[in-house]
Amino acid sequence: MLKINNVVLRYGGIIALKGVSLEVNKGEIVALIGANGAGKSSVLKSIMALEKISSGEVYLDNVLLTGLSTDKIVNMGLCLVPEGRRIFTRMSVHENLLMGAFLRKDKQGIQDDIDKVLTLFPRLKERLVQKAGTLSGGEQQMLAIARGMMSRPKYLFLDEPSLGLAPVLVDEIFKIIKEINESGTSLLIVEQNAVKTLKLANRGYVVETGNVTLSGTSEELLSSEHVRAAYLGGH
C-alpha cells in the first residue's frame, strides 16, 4: 500500500500542497481530480521526490520513502509518467523503452517486457527504430506510458495521460490503462477527464487549492453534487 501522510509542499512562497493525505491500495486504480493549479501534479512529484516536501511522509508498504532520492524510489517500484509526455525525442522508440528500464539489470526480463509493452501498444512496434520526436502526439503519449511500464513498477502514476488526444485515442489509452491494472500494477491517475477516469477507477480524491476536499469510491464521487457541479460539467 502506498500512503501519503499530511504532505506539505512549497514552491518558494507558494504553498502548493497544504497537508495532503491519500492512499493507493494494492491492485487499485485511484483517480486524482481537480481544477488547473489545484496541486495534482505536485502530489505526484512529491511522491517521487522530484520536489522536496516541507513536511509529511510517504510510505510504501510501511517503509518510509521520504528523504530518499528519486532513483531509489524508482528502484523500489514506483514510477511516474510525467505531465506532457517528456519522451526523449532524439532517441529511437526502442531507446526510450530501454531508458525506462534504466535501473534494471535483467537483460532477458527487459527484452520480455519490451515485447509485452509492444503487444499492448502495437503502434509502437511498427515504429521501433523511428526517432521518438517524429511520432504523433498520441503515439508519444503511448510511448511515455510504455516507457513508464518498463521499470516494471508496482505503482504507476500517470499525469494526464489523455491530454490533447482525440476521443478515440482517449478510449484506446483508457482501455490499455485497464489492462495494465489487470496485469497487477496499481495506478494513481491524474486526469481532467473526470467522468471517464472515475468510471475506470475504484476510488478517487478531489484536490482543491492544495487540499484534498473530497474522497470516496468512484460511484460516490460520480453522484456527488459538488463533483458534478465542479468537474463533470455537462456530462
Residue 100 binds which one of another protein, ligand ATP, Mg ion, none, with CB within 5 to 8 A depending on kind? another protein
Out of 2, 4, 7, 16, point to the residue binding ligand ATP (CB under 6 A): 16
Site for ligand ATP in 77-96 (CB under 6 A): 83
11 binds ligand ATP (CB under 6 A): yes
Could you tell me if 158 and 127 are in contact, meaning their C-beta atoms sit under 8 angstroms apart? Answer: no
Using the rule CB under 8 A, which residue among 63, 129, 168, 229 binds another protein?
A: 129
Query: Judged by CB under 8 A, does residue 86 bind another protein?
Result: yes
Q: Is 17 or 124 the residue whose CB approaches ligand ATP more closely?
A: 17
Mapping DSSP onto H, E and C, the string for 77-119 reads CEEEECCCCCCCCCCEHHHHHHHHCCCCCCHHHHHHHHHHHHH
Question: Which residue, 176, 223, 222, is CA-closest to 195?
Answer: 222
From the list 196, 189, 207, 204, the residue with the least C-alpha distance to 169 is: 196
Q: Which of 82, 138, 204, 210 is in the footprint of another protein by CB under 8 A? A: 82
Under the criterion CB under 5 A, does residue 162 sit at the interface with Mg ion? no
User: Which amino acid, 67?
Assistant: G
Looking at 3, 5, 15, 75, which residue binds another protein (CB under 8 A)?
Answer: 75
Tell me the CB-side half-sphere exposure of residue 67, using CA atoms within 13 A.
Answer: 5
Which three cell numbers, joined as nine digits, stand for 167?
Answer: 476521443
The DSSP symbol for 231 reads I
C-alpha distances in Å from residue 66, one per residue of 48, 55, 63, 101, 173: 9, 9, 9, 23, 31
36 binds ligand ATP (CB under 6 A): yes
DSSP letter at 121?
Answer: -
- Give the one residue of 4, 24, 31, 41 binding ligand ATP; rule: CB under 6 A: 41
State the nearest-atom distance from the C-beta of 150 to another protein, in Å: 8
Residue 215 contacts another protein per CB under 8 A: no
In whole angstroms, what is the distance from residue 163 CA to residue 191 CA? 8
**Cα-trace Rg, the chain:** 17
Instruction: Indicate which of another protein, ligand ATP, Mg ion, none lies near residue 16 (CB less than 5 to 8 Å, by partner kind).
Output: ligand ATP
Considering the rule CB under 8 A, would residue 80 count as an interface residue with another protein? yes
Q: Is 71 in the site for another protein (CB under 8 A)?
A: yes
Three-class DSSP category at 29: strand
Query: How many positions of this chain bind another protein (CB under 8 A)?
Result: 34
Q: Does 115 bind another protein (CB under 8 A)?
A: no
- Which residue among 27, 37, 67, 109 contacts ligand ATP (CB under 6 A)? 37
Which CB atom, from 95 or from 172, has the smaller least distance to another protein? 95
- For residue 163, the SS3 value is coil
CB of 109 to ligand ATP, least distance (A): 33
